[in-house]
Structure 1
Amino acid sequence: CRRSPISIAAAVIYMITQLSEDKKPLKDISLATGVAEGTIRNSYKDLYPYAARLIPNSYAKEEDLKNLCTP
């Protein structure tokens, strides 16, 4: 399934914020990016299996990635 760049960016922002101490709710990411919550959720679901490839080890270790919300 093909996603727009803004949908992918919103999902990555959501993913990164879930790894930070200052977690942001999906609603906030949606408001900031103009992407619907459902679209972010679906894009996140598509990207989730690739989190280890998308997020550099310098930002989050594999153990940290296990704390990501399961889609």
Structure 2
Amino acid sequence: MSDINYDSLQLLKKALEKGGIHPGKDWAKGYNFMLSKDPETNITLMLVIGWNSDYKKMVAVAFNATTGEYIQP
């Protein structure tokens, strides 16, 4: 828990600024979040999960949960 300095609302705002992510309407409504640890870098990640513009594919935007830095896919 000490690795997490950003909450979901802060990182959702950053994900929306990046663009390309939309809230679910029927299944997985709204935005969803996932915490994980990258096994290669040992960085705690927070993923903001939503849908692409035509709502046919789920997409995720990853951030370093400690620094708030965007992580390239």
TM-score normalised by L of structure 2: 0.29
TM-score normalised by L of structure 1: 0.29
Between 1 and 2, higher relative CO (CA 8 Å, sep ≥ 6) is seen in 1
Structure with the greater alpha carbon radius of gyration: 2
